[in-house]
Structures are given as structure tokens and as C-alpha cells.
Chains A and B, each alone.
Chain A
Amino acid sequence: MLKRAFLFNGIGSKPEKLLINLPPMLMEKYESYLDDAFSRLGLNKDIEKNSAYNGRVAEWVISLICDRVVFEYYIEQGIVPDIGAGYSSGIVSISACFGSVSHEFAHDIIMMNRSTMKCLEQNNMKLDMGVIIGMSYEEASEYLSRRFSPDELIVGSGNSSFHVMISGRADKIEEALGYALEGGALKAFSFGTGVAYHHPVMEAYTKEYNDFCTSIAYSDPVYPMISGFDCRMITTGDEVMRENVINCYTPIRWDLTLKELERLGVTEFYDVSANGAVKKFSRVARGKCRMYSLEDVLA
């Protein structure tokens, strides 16, 4: 019987928002992991001193390090998962925390995003992602399809009954934000990332990334995982590898993933992000289930 799930967040949180929530005892561990990782990867701890691509991936590596610190803290507290799920680049994070790959390899996967960004730039692809708050996956898909084709943009992730991520051409994302507000969205904003993760167009630009993901053998995860793409159970190293490979260009159904976890019996959801980001945009059945963040556990 599955009771407790760990949820790993993707990229998007600024380091300052992540680090403010780490108490001194965890901060010490974070600093140690950060020193090791950044010196190995040749990244500057002063993020702004990195080149453009390095600066971006440096922030994402920081997210992974924070996840690791929080994950290890939960385990030390006796909070052990029965299963886990990764949202977007949270898949890379969970792959390392659940023992399928080393943390160093996970950082290297994140670093490979630089080649994806360079490839997009060389091909003059102007892409972006955005968030619409106040619409479900079904509502946003139906509404946006009235004006935009799937080649222009798609709902890249249905997160909850009120939160979706959209992904596609930068000009169309910008147009869609205003259109969403006209349609009753509470808020809509773009990421300005220059990439369109979870849109199929990305497959053509992630070859190096994917080749790298498949360059080693993955171990079976210590705890089972569930796919955020199609709710499949993942228990082998090869399946974890597949999740990493399809991650950049496959739409996510986080909302359905959480529902499937509930159906499997999960009632305790632990957000492994340092700033409770997953808890904010996810929803589980009220009364029956509960979602805990680091803040809750520390309290």
C-alpha cells in the first residue's frame, strides 16, 4: 500500500527564494554541496558573473542542490517515501535522489541545457513558456485552441484545476497571455526563458541533451516513481532514463499524476522544494489528503 509520495519541483524558483527558507543547519549542507558542484562544473557562485547560458543553468543546479538537501533532511527525520514524482526538471532531481544516477550526473544533465539553448539560438527559434492562473487544463486547452494551433503553442503542463503552463512560440505566448486574461484568467505571465520545454518542437533541438541522458546505465530507483507524462509506474533504471529523455519535449499532466497517486492510496504528499513551490500550484483531495512543505516539517 502506497501512503507517502515525495514531489520534486522543476526549475523556475530564483535562488534567493529557495535559500531564504533553509535553516542554518541545512544551509551549511547546501553550501558544502554548492562548493563541490560549482567548482567541478566551473560555475561562479556569484550567478551574475557567469555567462548568459551558464548563469541560467547555475540557477537550475542550485534548485537541484536544494532538493537534495531537503530530501536528505526528510529522510533523516524518518520521513521516507513510498513513491515519488518529478515535475519537469524535477525528474532529473528525483533520478538522483532516488539513486538511479549520481548527483554529479544529474548536474551534468542540467548543464546540457546549454547546448539546447545554443541550438535554438543558432536556428533563430524564438520560444517561450508562460503560466496561466485561474484555468484548468481542459479550460485552457479549449479556450486557447480557439485562437492558436498546436504548432504555435500548447498547454505544456496541466498542473491543477487552476494552474497551467503554456509553451510554444514566444510571440504567440505573449499574445496568449492577454487573451487568457480576457477569458477570465486571474493572472498570466511569461517566463522569458527562450525555450519551450514540454512542447514537441523541442525534440529537434535536444539531441545532444538526449544523447547525454542515455550515455550511462541507470540503476533501478530505490523507491518507485510515477511518470508525470502518462502516470505509468517506474521501477527500473531504463524507465527512469526514458523519463529523462522525453522530458524536454513531452507535455506534463501533473494534475492527473496526483490524482493517480491518490487512487493508489497516497494520502501524504511531501513537497521536496525548499520554497514549497509544488504545494502552491498542486492540489490534492481536501480532507482525505494532505500536502506538506519543508516549512511544515520544520515547524
Chain B
Amino acid sequence: MRELTDQIRQEIKDMIFDYYAEECEVDRDEITMDTNPQEDLGSDSLMFVELIEMTADKYGLDIKLQSIGKYMLKSPMDTMSSVVDMFCKIYQYGNDIVNQ
């Protein structure tokens, strides 16, 4: 398991917020941890895949999408808070996220 520092968590959060702000063409300040990425920002699953790919590239992770899909069955991504939490878990646990 990788150690998740406050700095990495902030970095992940910034990356996610910046990405959604640009892709969904909204002001970054309008996005909060309670924002629903699908309903409030109009994001879609292809954007989500791209974000996973960006994260994998940035941190050198080899992650299978199905591991994330199985995790999402238990923990829906309905707020930015849940999205940030999930990406932090991807960073920490990689494919073992499915067991978290």
C-alpha cells in the first residue's frame, strides 16, 4: 500500500477539480466537495475514464478499470468528495481497491 500524504491528497483533489472545471466548462470555484459530477457538471463516464488514465500516468499506476468498476458498485460516485476519496484509494491500493 502506498502512503497517502496530505500533500498527495491535495494534489489529487486539485487535479480532479481542474479537470472537471475544464472539461465541463465551469468555473473551478463553483465546484465544491458536494457537487454531483454527473448531475451538476454534466460529466460522463468517458471523462471519468480519461481522469483515471491521467491519474495512472501521473503516479505510474497499473490499474484495471474493472477493479474500479467493482468498487463503484459498492460506492457510487455521486459527489466530488466520493470521487476524490476513490482516486486517493486508487493511489493507495491500486487494483486492490476492490477489497476496500
Q: How far is the CA of A183 from the CA of B72 in the complex (A)?
A: 11
Q: How far is the CB of A251 from chain B (nearest CB, A)?
A: 22
Given A162-B65, A183-B66, the answer on whether A134 and B73 have CB atoms closer than 8 Å is no
Interfacial chain A residues near B45, Cβ < 8 Å:
133-134, 186-187
Q: How far is the CA of A213 from the CA of B68 in the complex (A)?
A: 44
Instruction: List A residues 154-191 near B (Cβ within 8 Å).
Output: 162-163, 181-187
Contact A135 B46 (CB under 8 A): no
Closest to A287 in B: B57
C-beta contact mask, A238-265 vs B, less than 8 Å → 1, else 0?
0000000000000000000000000000
Interfacial chain B residues near A223, Cβ < 8 Å:
none
Q: How far is the CB of B83 from chain A (nearest CB, A)?
A: 13
Q: How large is the interface on B (under 10, 10 to 19, 20 to 34, 35 or more residues)?
A: 10 to 19
Q: How far is the CA of A286 from the CA of B46 in the complex (A)?
A: 17
Is B49 in the interface zone, CB < 8 Å from A?
A: yes
Is B70 in the interface zone, CB < 8 Å from A?
A: yes
Contact A186 B57 (CB under 8 A): no
Chain A residues with a Cβ closer than 8 Å to the other chain, count: 16
Contact B57 A185 (CB under 8 A): no
Contact B46 A184 (CB under 8 A): no
Closest to B68 in A: A186
- CB < 8 Å neighbour of B69 from A184, A281, A286: A184
Q: How far is the CA of A186 from the CA of B43 in the complex (A)?
A: 14
Closest to A184 in B: B66
Instruction: List B residues 50-71 near A (Cβ within 8 Å).
Output: 57, 64-70
Contact A133 B66 (CB under 8 A): no
Interfacial chain A residues near B68, Cβ < 8 Å:
134, 184, 186
Is B19 in the interface zone, CB < 8 Å from A?
A: no
Q: How far is the CA of A181 from the CA of B74 in the complex (A)?
A: 11
Interfacial chain B residues near A162, Cβ < 8 Å:
49, 65
Interfacial chain A residues near B93, Cβ < 8 Å:
none
Contact B66 A135 (CB under 8 A): yes
Contact B57 A184 (CB under 8 A): no
Given A139-B66, A186-B65, A186-B68, the answer on whether A134 and B57 have CB atoms closer than 8 Å is no
Interfacial chain B residues near A184, Cβ < 8 Å:
64-70, 98
Given contacts A134-B45, A181-B69, 20 further A-B pairs with CB under 8 A are A133-B45, A134-B49, A134-B65, A134-B69, A135-B65, A162-B49, A162-B65, A163-B49, A182-B73, A183-B66, A183-B70, A184-B64, A184-B67, A184-B68, A184-B70, A185-B66, A185-B69, A186-B49, A186-B65, A281-B46
A-B contact pairs, 17 of them (CB 8 A): A133-B49, A134-B49, A134-B66, A134-B68, A139-B66, A163-B46, A163-B49, A181-B73, A183-B66, A183-B69, A184-B64, A184-B65, A184-B66, A184-B68, A184-B70, A184-B98, A186-B69
